[in-house]
Structure 1
Amino acid sequence: MSEQELSREQIARRQELEKKIFQLLSNRPGLRLQELVEILDAEEFLVRVKGGLQFKFKEYSNSLLEKEVKTGVKSILPTDVINVDKVIIPSRGGEILTGSGEELEEKKIIPRTRYLMEVLSDLGIEYSVETGKLDKNMFRSRGYQIFVIPEKKKLIFVNNEEGHATRIVHGFRDFDQNDKFGVIEKDIIDYLSDLNVDELDLDESIIVEKINYPGNEEEYKQKMKEAVLFVLTKKNTEMFDPKEKKKGKCGNMKN
């Protein structure tokens, strides 16, 4: 979409998007440009220049604007992106590299974070994101991101690397505690992000939905939409037997 084709409103909207992305970076000095770009799935707009990396804010904002014009859906960017000085969802014992790791096959990247952002934009739901660091001794080339969705009282753990299921924390099994989960206090996020995937799946105090990538974008986005809209009630909380969960049979919850 060329400058001449844009209306005054569209130019203003593009500038609004540019400003929002710039604010995400400037508000969080510890956040690396590369981390934000990975969340946005915008690597094509990141270029190497003398002295480092440069992000093409205008071109990326223009691509979002084109999508908005085509779909009629306004892109909702994170209200904040917070970088935490730790690994989110640490590896299990058997997932630590003991050698150089040079012969490991590179895994495919699936832009799950972008798909989730598009789902949340379609639903008109605001969210923030927490991103952590990578341990060089881990098998992963990408880290987990936590999408914090206060309106729906949910935390979503997402990794864009192939082979990592998305996990949605719907709330506490003890339903009476979920008033606390409504504001998603920092200590809850810290506790859950320190668990490995097995510990997260088997923690009997919470209800976790695990979504594997089904092989195509639309099916994944539909599953994520259903998960985001799932409403936890005392009745459906009681449907999930902790004993069944411990055996790994909880499965995907349906709306």
Structure 2
Amino acid sequence: MNVRPCQARALPSWQLLRRVLVVDDDSHVRSMITSYLADHRYLAVGSSGSEMARHLQSNQFSLVVLDVWPAAFDGFDLLRQIRACSDVPVILITGQHEDDIDRVLGLELGADDFLCAPLDLRELLARARAILRRQQAGRQSMAEPLRGGYRFHGWELHYRARVLKDPAGAIVGLTRKEFALLVAFLEAPGRPLSRVHLLRATRTHEDIFDRSIDVQVLRLRRKIETDPSAPRLIRTERGLGYVLDADVEILF
């Protein structure tokens, strides 16, 4: 199933903030989740895996809840399709005995959070609320005028254009989280930053045991390090977190 670029109609900001797409081929589970969210004043829309693309093409959503186990569809393939046309936050519902490899794969493919079966609806609501709060805060911060940027080790990061240029002047694409992560490092060069600090900077849920920030750092290293397997710019400080080892100049 292919997904064309999203061409969703515009919705009022208050309505978009509470619009959730629930993707699950089990109609009972789908109805249970959408009803619970609706009881808490969310605009919850249910969808099977085969109908997901149609919903994404015709509507705007602030969050997707995607059940990848058990399912008649390939949940990770659906996650790839979502990321092909949208950066909407995604909460994955995984099996109780899913291993770490599947979790890392989900993060690599762009998932924002995980919940394990059997599903606790109260926890789902809490995590959805946290993600939507961060999303709204991100919209407000991006509405503020941003000026300047940073120069480091020959690289340049420009705020207003949200552009990263390598030492040769070529533009290197960054995801929303990679941009936020790099800004966090550039704001505190030479200072070890904990995983909790970086989770907050990227607006990922603040779970001290969450290893998703390690995946984000790895992806950023692949873009700015000469040799990502032996990083020199973003170094690991054992027991502390990560540190940017570079002189940083502020651009005005």
Instruction: Answer 1 or 2: which has greater helix percent.
Output: 1
Indicate whether the TM-score tops 0.5. Answer: no
TM-score by length of 1: 0.28
TM-score by length of 2: 0.28
